[in-house]
Each structure stands twice: as C-alpha cells, then as structure tokens.
Amino acid sequence: MPEYTIRTHRPGDLGWLISQHGTLYTTEYKWNERVESLVARSCADFIDSYNPAVERCWIAEHNNSRIGCIMLAKDHGAEDAGKLRFLLVDSSARGLGVASALIRTCVDFAREVGYKRVVLWTHSVLVPARRLYEANGFKLVKEEEHDTFGVRLVGEFWELAFDH
C-alpha cells in the first residue's frame, strides 16, 4: 500500500469509527456489543461538546478510503490532560506505520495546545497497541480487571507526561 494521508474528522467519520470498533472487537477478541455501545456513547459526547481548540479526531486514508483513526478528547476528570481514544487501523493497513503516525499526530497536537499530559485506557490483550504506546513514551500507571465486554479483561491506564 502506497502513501496514506491523515486528516481531521468530517461528517460520517465517527459513524465509521463506531462501526469499525464494534466489528473489530467482536470478531477478533470476542467481546460483546457493549464495546460498540461505549464507543458510540463516547463519540456522541465528543460531538456534543466538541472544542476544536483542544480536541480532535483524525482519520487516516488511502485512496479516499478510511484505514485508521484516533481521537484526542478533553479529560473532564483532569483539566490538564487530554485523553487519547479509539486508535484503530484496518487490517489491510497494519504494519505500515499508520498507527505510529496517528499517535504522533495526536501527541503533537496535545503538546501544541498546552495539555500537560495525555492519558489513555486500553487492555492487556491489545499487545500491538500497548507496544506502540510504550514506544511513544507512555507509562502504565494502573490496572483494573473487569468484564464489561462479556469476557474477563485487564483494563490498563497509561499516561504520557510532557516536560513543559
């Protein structure tokens, strides 16, 4: 696959993001449909309170087809933090650096708009994503078991603190 581009979201993109997450996690990881519900609710909240000065959703495209996404939302629990959410790359584009480019885009924007740190929630079974977060300077700060998505999981909270 040749070059891809990364752009900010436009109408229809968050519907695609929701669908992709629902499909990926139910087929590849056997999670239940509550994952799609959580993503849909979070995307609706993002749209309802969207502040482009400090929040963004980015879409990676190849030949006008969406191949990946990532979001930075304000962490309403911590005013100094942005929350990295919904990193996903289509299976056809994995291994090409799309995820790394999306993470860099997100982190660079967070730093540029003045966040002191970026936080994220992921799961121990998502090994490739965890490796990328670690490679980009994120540190695991907390683990928490849950079965929200119909299977036993270890949720992980990661953080990247900026030196301002």
For the chain, the domains span 5-118
Residue 48 has pLDDT above 90, yes or no: yes
- pLDDT, mean of residues 25-31: 94
Residue 152 has pLDDT above 80, yes or no: yes
- pLDDT, mean of residues 51-57: 98
Per the structure block, which two tokens stand in for 125? 């079974």
- For the stretch 65-108, pLDDT in tens is 999 999 999 998 888 999 999 999 998 898 889 999 999 999 99
Residue 19 has pLDDT above 60, yes or no: yes
What's the pLDDT score for residue 77?
86
* pLDDT range class, residue 2, cuts 50, 70, 90: low
What's the pLDDT score for residue 163?
84
Specify whether the backbone of 81 is left (phi greater than 0), alpha (psi in -120 to 50) or beta. Answer: beta
* pLDDT range class, residue 164, cuts 50, 70, 90: low
Mean pLDDT of the chain: 95
SS (H, E, C) the chain: CCCCEEEECCCCHHHHHHHHHHHHHHHHCCCCCHHHHHHHHHHHHHHHCCCCCCCEEEEEEECCEEEEEEEEEECCCCCCEEEEEEEEECHHHCCCCHHHHHHHHHHHHHHHCCCCEEEEEEECCCHHHHHHHHHCCCEEEEEEEECCCCCCEEEEEEEEECCC
- pLDDT, mean of residues 18-28: 96
Q: What percent of the chain has pLDDT over 70?
A: 98
Close Cβ partners of 63 (under 8 Å, ≥ 6 residues apart): none
Architecture category of domain 5-118 in CATH: 3-Layer(aba) Sandwich (3.40)
- For the stretch 116-141, pLDDT in tens is 999 999 999 999 999 999 999 999 99
